[in-house]
């Protein structure tokens, strides 16, 4: 009978693997449950931390959004601080330029200006507002008050916002408290809870923020409340909806978190400003109460988690721990079961390990022999061998390289030398690195290097870049060969070749010196002529920079071109884009142009957009605007910033080549085109600055400057000056019934009629809306009245049409005032003319009324 394979003492313990496996499984499951509980606790701590982070981010986002509102209102207040007077149009342009309500400033319903009106100025204030086409404007609620805080400007001018015009905000105690605090502190201040009407006609909780506006140029002494109250002229304000503010400020991860906002520091139903009704706050696992104070706001914020937010908590890790722990427990049990079998293989593994150790010792001995061979080659090589970092630090060098560069030992060279210091020309080191970076290796790179004693030698370098797995250069390695003798021999050979070439050239050049001398004289003459022309060109450029009008620029160009091309004939044409024609502006020389007007397609230069020349002997296509007997000419288009401005046409004298003058003609044309373009640009900018874009009349800013000038001139000369204020009757009704296009047509036609019937010394300006002011220098009261009556009758006779539809008779009312009868200042004369116009309206319109003395 065979002996059993398992020893007898193992047979007695045969059940032990099962016991070990059971014990390991039980221990593994116990540890797994403990780890799962710890993972769950960690996830819940992370969720609590995330909830707190979300609350902080939400609070910070709300604060930043309120500060953005504050910054917007400060910008509006700075407009009043920068200008002595801010018109309704200027306010609208400012708000439209900086605000996109729905996107950048969610929650803001409007941005407006509250004007402080003393009781004695109320009637004039209402009249001034109605003269700006706000015919139904009034201050409300009605009642006698010492001062009124009325909404005068508001943008955007929607129907909902329009209803706020004239509202006296001081009648609301909540708003008045915020306004008084902003006035006395000079800082932005937000009101308490206030109901705002939205575009949906529903009431929404919100607040109103105020920034005080003080009188332009008023001195404010420190923090004196008396100075601020005396200088106050109004407030820049903005009504803000809290629901849109909160929803726009909420990050995406906050959408499932319950948010409540209360005005003040107490949680009470009447103070509730916002409530995101996603789930009851009390039922959440996480809740936090915090406060927010900014710009006068004092809010209490309450946040709570909802079932949707809590459902997003990731319990993946605890599940992974539970599953992995179970699997590991099973694996441990299997490992314990197989432990007995594994021990039987341990001796085989020990034998295998012994064989591996013997193999390692054999390979180590072989590597030692190879290292000794490499070291022998490295130490005894005739050429220099090196390794350096990309920064030039030597890692290893052999004795041959050290002796080549004047060092006694390799160690001495590594300690004292950097590769970048050895190049005579530092640019060669950069070129060496560039080639290695791009190609990875180089051969025969010749450069000059310094030896230790600063003497110079020529070396030929070969190298390669050694990189790691990521492609980063670790070091350079290569060889260096001293090629000084070879380079000196090549230089001597080149020197001998140069000497021989110089001798032969000297013999050949003796016969050419005389001819070169004559050619040189010719060149000197041409150079002097070119210098004169370039000086005149510079003078022309300077004069063009000084021109104000296009007519001046044409005169300057014509005069200077005659001097620049004094020995040539030519012409300057200006391009008319409407007709696509070129018109003669100036010509000079013996050959007059064939025509003073021709199409742009008749010139090859204008077609191609570049210089076009024709030489007599070379032939070629000829431009149709050039005479057949013209042998040689050049056409150069005048183009600036891609826009065609004109054409320069030059005909050279018979002894001069037109082709040789191409560079100079290009320079002249380029500078001339830039000069003409600059003058056109200045004219256009001036027209935009002083003209009203709709009517073409002078704008109100130019009117203010002009009337002051004319009034000073009349006072010095003891002359008279008259003002005629014109207003279109029933203009609002015309706009409402026929549309704004018809209203624009009426204004343009009346402005054109007035412009055609005034003197060149008179000025017609758009005063505002449908009002036009006419300034009549050196005109008395009676003459101004007669002129106004002619205008009234003439406008009444105009037949107006809009969109192929007759508008009907349009009438105007006119108020006339004169200097010195009705005032000595601009403000007094304007007030007198405006009052006279108001009387004409009150007396039935379509009439001329003189100002009262």
Q: What is the pLDDT of residue 655?
A: 64
Reported as a single tens digit per residue, the pLDDT across 779-824 is 999 999 999 999 999 999 888 887 667 787 899 999 999 999 998 8
Give the mean pLDDT of 569-597. 83
Q: Are 589 and 569 in contact (CB under 8 A)?
A: yes
List 477's β-bridge partners, or say none: 387, 464
Query: Mean of the per-residue pLDDT values for the chain?
Result: 84
Across 389-431, the runs of DSSP E, i.e. the strands, are 394-397
Give the mean pLDDT of 255-271. 87
Reported as a single tens digit per residue, the pLDDT across 229-243 is 989 999 999 999 998
| Res. 499: pLDDT tops 90 | no
Which strand (E) or helix (H) includes residue 684? helix 662-690
In this structure, what token pair is assigned to residue 96?
Answer: 């439209």
Calpha distance 149→499 (Å, rounded)? 99
**Burial of 509 by CB count in 10 Å (0-12 exposed, 13-18 middle, 19+ buried)?**
exposed
Which residue shows structure tokens 């099962």? Answer: 18
Cis geometry, peptide bond prior to residue 141 (ω within 30 degrees of 0): yes
DSSP 254: G
CA atoms within 13 A on the CB side of 803: 7
Reported as a single tens digit per residue, the pLDDT across 592-648 is 566 788 888 889 888 888 988 888 765 678 888 888 778 788 899 999 888 888 998
Calpha distance 422→450 (Å, rounded)? 5
Q: What is the pLDDT of residue 304?
A: 87
Q: Are 258 and 227 in contact (CB under 8 A)?
A: no
Q: Are 817 and 711 in contact (CB under 8 A)?
A: no
The phi, psi pair for 832, rounded to 5°, reads: -65, -45
Q: What is the pLDDT of residue 283?
A: 58
Calpha distance 419→200 (Å, rounded)? 79
Give the mean pLDDT of 674-700. 80
Which residue shows structure tokens 């809740």? Answer: 287
Q: What is the pLDDT of residue 2?
A: 47
pLDDT confidence tier of residue 383, bands split at 50, 70 and 90: confident
In this structure, what token pair is assigned to residue 564?
Answer: 């620049």
Query: Taking Cα atoms as reference points, which of 598, 699, 611 lies closest to residue 658?
Result: 611
**Burial of 562 by CB count in 10 Å (0-12 exposed, 13-18 middle, 19+ buried)?**
middle
Q: Are 635 and 666 in contact (CB under 8 A)?
A: no
Calpha distance 590→76 (Å, rounded)? 66
Which DSSP string do the residues of 598-648 spell out, in sequence order? EEGGG-HHHHHTS-EEE-TTT-----TTS-TT--SEEEEEEEETTEEEEEE
- For residue 642, give every residue at least 6 positions away whose Cβ sits within 8 Å of its Cβ, in sequence order, or none: none
Weakest-pLDDT range from 82-86, 723-727, 786-790? 82-86
In this structure, what token pair is assigned to residue 325?
Answer: 């722990």
Q: What is the pLDDT of residue 734?
A: 85
Which strand (E) or helix (H) includes residue 670? helix 662-690
3-state secondary structure of 464: strand
If one compares 549 and 469, the residue with the highest pLDDT of the two is: 469
Which residue shows structure tokens 């969610």? Answer: 106
| Res. 667: pLDDT tops 80 | yes
Which residue shows structure tokens 């799962």? Answer: 36
Q: What is the pLDDT of residue 789?
A: 94
DSSP 3: P
Reported as a single tens digit per residue, the pLDDT across 267-324 is 888 889 888 764 444 557 888 889 998 888 889 999 888 888 877 787 778 888 888 8
Which strand (E) or helix (H) includes residue 498? helix 484-509
For the chain, give the number of residues. Answer: 853
Weakest-pLDDT range from 133-142, 316-325, 518-527, 726-735? 518-527
In this structure, what token pair is assigned to residue 816?
Answer: 């006339």
> pTM of the prediction?
0.40
Exposure string over 15-42, b if 16+ CB within 10 A, otherwise e: eebeebbeebbeebeeebeeebeebbee
pLDDT confidence tier of residue 352, bands split at 50, 70 and 90: confident
Calpha distance 629→611 (Å, rounded)? 21
Which residue shows structure tokens 């190049």? Answer: 423
Distance of CA 570 to the CA centre of its chain: 46
Q: What is the pLDDT of residue 344?
A: 56
| Res. 362: pLDDT tops 80 | yes
| Res. 735: pLDDT tops 60 | yes
pLDDT confidence tier of residue 47, bands split at 50, 70 and 90: confident
- Tally of CB atoms within 10 A around 382: 10
- Tally of CB atoms within 10 A around 833: 28
**Burial of 593 by CB count in 10 Å (0-12 exposed, 13-18 middle, 19+ buried)?**
buried
DSSP 423: B
Calpha distance 676→575 (Å, rounded)? 11
- Tally of CB atoms within 10 A around 852: 11
Instruction: Kindly calculate the radius of gyration of the chain based on its CA atoms and give it in whole angstroms.
Output: 47
Reported as a single tens digit per residue, the pLDDT across 113-162 is 999 999 999 999 999 999 888 888 999 999 999 999 999 999 988 888 88
| Res. 201: pLDDT tops 70 | yes
Q: Starting at the earlier edge strand, list the strands of the sheet with 569-576.
A: 597-599, 581-588, 569-576, 643-651, 633-640, 612-614
């Amino acid at each position: 009978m065979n002996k059993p394979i398992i020893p007898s003492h193992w047979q007695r313990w045969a059940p032990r693997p099962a016991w070990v496996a059971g014990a390991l499984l039980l221990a593994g499951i116990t540890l797994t449950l403990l780890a799962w509980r710890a993972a769950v606790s960690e996830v819940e701590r992370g969720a609590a931390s995330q909830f707190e982070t979300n609350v902080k981010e939400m609070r910070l986002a709300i604060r930043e959004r309120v500060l953005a509102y504050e910054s917007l209102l400060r910008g509006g207040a700075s407009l009043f601080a920068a200008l002595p007077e801010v018109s309704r149009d200027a306010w609208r342009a400012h708000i439209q330029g900086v605000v996109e309500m729905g996107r950048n400033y969610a929650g803001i319903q409007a941005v407006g200006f509250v004007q402080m009106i003393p009781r004695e100025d109320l009637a004039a204030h209402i009249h001034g507002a109605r003269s700006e086409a706000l015919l139904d404007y009034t201050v409300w609620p009605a009642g006698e008050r010492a001062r009124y805080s009325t909404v005068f400007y508001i943008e955007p001018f929607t129907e909902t916002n329009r209803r706020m015009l004239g509202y006296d905000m001081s009648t609301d105690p909540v708003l008045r408290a915020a306004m008084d605090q902003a006035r006395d502190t000079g800082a932005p201040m937000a009101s308490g809870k206030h109901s705002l009407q939205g575009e949906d006609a529903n009431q929404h909780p919100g607040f109103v923020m105020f920034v005080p506006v003080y009188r332009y140029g008023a001195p404010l002494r420190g923090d004196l409340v008396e100075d601020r109250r005396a200088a106050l002229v109004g407030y820049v304000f903005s009504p803000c909806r809290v629901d849109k503010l909160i929803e726009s400020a909420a990050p995406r991860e906050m959408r499932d978190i319950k948010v409540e906002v209360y005005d003040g520091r107490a949680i009470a139903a009447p103070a509730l400003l916002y409530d995101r009704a996603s789930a009851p706050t009390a039922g959440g696992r996480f809740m936090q109460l915090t406060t927010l104070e900014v710009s006068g706001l004092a809010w209490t914020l309450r946040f709570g988690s909802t079932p949707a937010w809590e459902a997003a908590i990731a319990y993946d890790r605890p599940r992974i721990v539970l599953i992995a722990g179970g699997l590991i427990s099973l694996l441990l049990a299997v490992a314990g079961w197989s432990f007995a079998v594994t021990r039987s293989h341990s001796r085989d593994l020990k034998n295998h390990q012994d064989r591996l150790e013997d193999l390692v010792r054999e390979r180590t001995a072989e590597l030692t022999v190879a290292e000794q061979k490499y070291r022998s080659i490295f130490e005894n090589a005739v050429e220099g061998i090196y390794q350096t970092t990309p920064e030039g630090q030597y890692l290893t060098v052999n004795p041959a390289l050290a002796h080549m560069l004047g060092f006694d030992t390799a160690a001495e060279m590594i300690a004292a030398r950097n590769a970048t210091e050895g190049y005579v020309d530092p640019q060669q080191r950069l070129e060496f690195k560039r080639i290695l970076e791009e190609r990875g290796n180089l051969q025969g790179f010749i450069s000059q290097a310094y030896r230790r004693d600063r003497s110079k030698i020529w070396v030929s370098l070969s190298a390669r870049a050694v990189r790691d797995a990521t492609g980063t250069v670790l070091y350079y390695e290569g060889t260096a060969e001293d090629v000084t003798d070879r380079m000196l021999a090549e230089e001597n050979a080149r020197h001998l070749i140069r000497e021989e070439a110089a001798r032969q050239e000297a013999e050949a050049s003796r016969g050419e010196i005389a001819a070169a001398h004559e050619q040189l004289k010719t060149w000197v003459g041409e150079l002097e002529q070119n210098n004169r022309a370039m000086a005149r060109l510079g003078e022309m450029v300077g004069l063009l920079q000084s021109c104000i009008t296009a007519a001046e620029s044409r005169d300057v160009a014509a005069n200077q071109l005659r001097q620049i091309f004094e020995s040539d004939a030519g012409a300057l044409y200006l391009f008319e884009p409407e007709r696509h024609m070129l018109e003669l502006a100036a010509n000079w020389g013996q050959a007059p142009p064939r025509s003073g007007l021709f199409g742009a397609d008749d010139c090859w230069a204008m077609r191609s957009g570049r210089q076009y020349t024709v030489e007599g002997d070379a032939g070629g296509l000829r431009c149709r605007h050039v005479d057949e007997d013209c042998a040689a000419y050049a056409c150069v288009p005048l183009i600036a910033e891609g826009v065609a401005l004109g054409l320069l046409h030059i005909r050279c004298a018979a002894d001069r080549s037109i082709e040789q003058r191409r560079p100079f003609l290009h320079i002249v044309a380029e500078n001339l085109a830039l000069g003409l373009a600059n003058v056109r640009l200045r004219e256009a900018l001036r027209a935009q600055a002083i003209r009203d874009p709709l009517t073409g009349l002078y704008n109100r800013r130019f009117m203010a400057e002009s009337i002051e000038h004319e009034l000073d001139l009349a006072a010095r000369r003891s002359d008279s000056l008259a003002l005629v204020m014109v207003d279109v009757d029933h203009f609002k009704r015309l706009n409402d019934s026929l549309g704004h296009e018809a209203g624009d047509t009426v204004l343009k036609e009346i402005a054109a009629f007035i412009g055609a019937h005034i003197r060149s010394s008179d000025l017609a300006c758009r005063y505002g809306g449908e009002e036009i002011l006419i300034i009549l220098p050196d005109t008395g009261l009676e003459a101004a009245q007669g002129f106004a009556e002619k205008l009234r009758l003439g406008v009444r006779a105009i037949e107006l049409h809009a969109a192929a539809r007759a508008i009907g008779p349009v009438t105007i009312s006119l108020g006339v005032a004169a200097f010195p009868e009705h005032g000595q200042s601009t403000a007094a004369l304007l007030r007198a003319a405006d009052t006279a116009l108001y009387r004409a309206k009150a007396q039935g319109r379509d009439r001329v009324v003189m100002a009262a003395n």
